[in-house]
Amino acid sequence: MEVTNISGSNSENLKTTLESDVIVTEGVTKVYAADGIPVNALNGIDLTIQSGEFTALVGPSGSGKTTFLNIISGLDNPTEGTVWLAGKVLSEMSGNELSDFRRDNIGFIFQAYNLIPVLTVEENVEYIMLLAGVPKAERHTRVIAMLEAVGLTGVANRMPTQLSGGQQQRVAIARAMVSEPAIILADEPTANLDSKTGADLLEMMRRLNEETGMTFIFSTHDPMVMAGATRLITLRDGRIDPDEAR
Amino acid sequence: MIFKIAFRNTFRQKRRTILTGLAMVVGFTLLSLTIGLSDGAYGNIITMFTRNRIGHIQVHRDGYLDKPSLYKTIDDLSAVGEVIQSTAGVEAWTPRAYGAGLGSVGEKSTAIQIIGVDVARETEATRFDQKVVEGNTLAETPSHEAVIGKSLAKIVAATVGSEIVIVSQGADGSIANDVYKIVGIVESDDDATDRIGCYLHIEDAQELLVLNGRVHEIVVIVSNINQVDKITRAIETQLNDPTLDVAPWQVVAKSFYRAMQTDQQGDAISRLVIMLIVAIGVLNTVLMSVLERTREYGVLKAVGTKPMQVFWLVVCEVVIIALASICVGAILGALVNYLLSIYGITYPEEITYGGMKLKTLYAVVNVRCLVIPAITVLVSAAIVSLFPAIKAARIMPAKAMRTH
């Protein structure tokens, strides 16, 4: 897989360079005010991620991994810089357009699972498809198949609180992948899992990546995830240092 | 799904939901009670005022209401009476003749108002016989009898069987005077009338005042008070006489009606205050709830829920609580109003309103006492939820998900 670091390119070139560029960032900077003191979480990130990559963002805590994932998915706004997602400039999209775009193109896996506590496992997994207007029968079939794929057969009617941490994370993974989005963004997906469950899930995601061409971007500290990644981007003090293809 | 989440959210913090609902139920019940009591009291007052005194509609010679005069008379009573009688919705009607004079019993004299009544019709229309507290009502044929107000009897120290000498002015300009035997004393719940009212048979009054069969007023009672305006217009059209003035009770008793409306506006302000207090309480709990669920709203938005859907989620949750509260409040409100419509609230001391004495305040159960609180609670709950809902809808997902 070709890896392109497009640092220094102009924006017009970025939009037209490669059809398979799903994420392009240029000069992305994020400054937080922590107790009134400005903190530079990201310092001018220029990056291109192509369709089908299995990329790991690594780096010490506070290096800007989660912030970067939030910004490339439109969950947060950069202080400066531009993000293109599948050719669209995120900052030019309205709230509704962003919601629709995330619903149709991005699956999120959060470190803290973030399931909706009042919905059952099945309802959590089908939620995004329901927003997208997928018919009930099709939703049910896909949910059951996805739960089986993540090893959660027979828990469809349980509430999230009735599941273990590992099971909840699998539900979150099923929710992220059931609508077959083009991009999966995963923030420390294995952090709360035991090593066996983590390895199983990683293996499943790797298989999906190879079979369907889904783009996976992880932020992680987990050596197992790093080892499985085809591209390793290290963030240090909000800068890329280095960006390695494998 | 948004409704499902909202519905299930109401069961997450049961105590808070119950407290929020309780505030709405109390607000609903208080509103229902104030409307029930207000409608009951005003309905009672209006009934007493119209049914016992002025009737629902009055017919006069044009200009009489603004400036009453002995000479402003309805000349053809039987023709006008026939028209009124034939109008649909009219239950009863009765003619009256008025005159001012001086009444003397023994050595005591005072100003009086001569009220000539058709005894049979007046009894049917305004229950005249029921106002007699001592002695008898007037004979149905002219017999030179008088019935006087209780306070007037005190002023001139009259008793049943006394004779009253009346001096007045005839419509022909002559001095009118005659003697009448007091056969009864009336108490009408109207202080002013009881102080000066001296009732004579209408033919005796017409003879005394030299009216030659003419009258000053025709009082009409209708079977449904809500149809007063329609029946007034119907009588007016059928009479087709520009010299006659047909007026509903709201025009006849203008100042009374205005005072009542002002009082009702005051009630509306007290209702508004009740709802404001409830709304502030509800706003507080809804804001707390939104604050607690900030992270969840962030997640919902992150996975593709539109801001407007998050907005409706919050509004829905409050509206669900409001609807449940309205159901409970409606049962409570109807029950309390029903009990008060039977037992009423007795005042420690008799109060006077519009010249009428009231001893007990009765409520009423009607559509207004359920629909107005329901709309008020629902609308104020929805309004109160707007601010937290907008706040939730505008949440930036990444920032929201950082909260715990």
Q: Which residues of B touch A123 (CB under 8 A)?
A: 1, 4
Q: 């009702």: which residue's tokens?
A: B264
Across the interface, whether the CB atoms of B304 and A104 are under 8 A apart is answered: yes
pLDDT band with cut points at 50, 70 and 90 for residue A170? confident
Q: What is the pTM of this model?
A: 0.71
Across the interface, whether the CB atoms of A175 and B302 are under 8 A apart is answered: no
pLDDT of residue B255: 83
- Closest approach of chain B CAs to the CA of A200, in angstroms? 24
- Closest approach of chain A CAs to the CA of B286, in angstroms? 18
pLDDT of residue A82: 92
* Pairs across A and B, CB distance < 8 A: 68
Across the interface, whether the CB atoms of B304 and A117 are under 8 A apart is answered: no
| CA–CA separation, A178 and A143 (whole Å) | 7
pLDDT band with cut points at 50, 70 and 90 for residue A175? very high
Confidence check: pLDDT of B404 > 80: no
Confidence check: pLDDT of A189 > 90: no
Tell me the two tokens of residue B360: 């007990």
Q: Which residues contact B342 (CB under 8 A, 6 or more apart)?
A: none
Query: In angstroms, what CA-CA distances link A63 with A59, A69, A239, B150?
Result: 6, 12, 8, 98
Element (H, E) at A107: strand A106-109
User: Of B83, B3, B1, B43, whose CA–CA distance to B317 is shortest?
Assistant: B3
Question: Where does B293-367 have alpha helices with state H?
Answer: 294-302, 307-343
Across the interface, whether the CB atoms of B303 and A103 are under 8 A apart is answered: yes
Instruction: With beta carbons less than 8 A apart as the criterion, state whether B25 and B281 touch.
Output: no
Across the interface, whether the CB atoms of A75 and B397 are under 8 A apart is answered: yes
Note the pLDDT tens digit of each residue in B256-271. Answer: 888 888 887 888 888 8
Query: In angstroms, what CA-CA distances link B116 with A122, B100, B130, B245, B252?
Result: 86, 11, 17, 20, 19
Instruction: Decide: helix, strand or coil at residue B107.
Output: coil
Provide the phi-psi class of B391: left if phi over 0, else alpha when psi is between -120 and 50, else beta: alpha
pLDDT of residue B99: 94
Average pLDDT over chain B, rounded to an integer: 89
Average pLDDT over chain A, rounded to an integer: 83
pLDDT band with cut points at 50, 70 and 90 for residue A144? very high
Q: 């139920």: which residue's tokens?
A: B25
Across the interface, whether the CB atoms of A77 and B302 are under 8 A apart is answered: no
Residue B300, chain A, CB below 8 Å: the answer is yes
Tell me the two tokens of residue A129: 């498809």
Of A95, A114, A175, the CB nearest to B401: A114
User: Of A105, A100, A134, A114, whose CA–CA distance to A214 is shortest?
Assistant: A105
Q: What burial class does residue B375 get, using C-beta atoms within 10 Å of its C-beta: 0-12 exposed, 13-18 middle, 19+ buried?
A: exposed
Q: 């083009």: which residue's tokens?
A: A182
pLDDT band with cut points at 50, 70 and 90 for residue B199? very high
pLDDT of residue A62: 82
Residue B9, chain A, CB below 8 Å: the answer is yes
Mean pLDDT of A230-245: 86
pLDDT of residue A1: 30
| CA–CA separation, A46 and A241 (whole Å) | 12
Note the pLDDT tens digit of each residue in A12-29. Answer: 333 333 347 788 999 999
Q: Which of A137-151, B15-29, B265-279 has the lowest mean pLDDT?
A: B265-279
Q: Which residues of B touch A73 (CB under 8 A)?
A: 302
Q: Which of residues 25-54 of A touch B (CB under 8 A)?
A: none
Cis, bond preceding A242 (omega within 30 deg of 0): yes
Find the residue in B nearest to A111 (Cα). B401
Residue A123, chain B, CB below 8 Å: the answer is yes
pLDDT of residue B403: 67
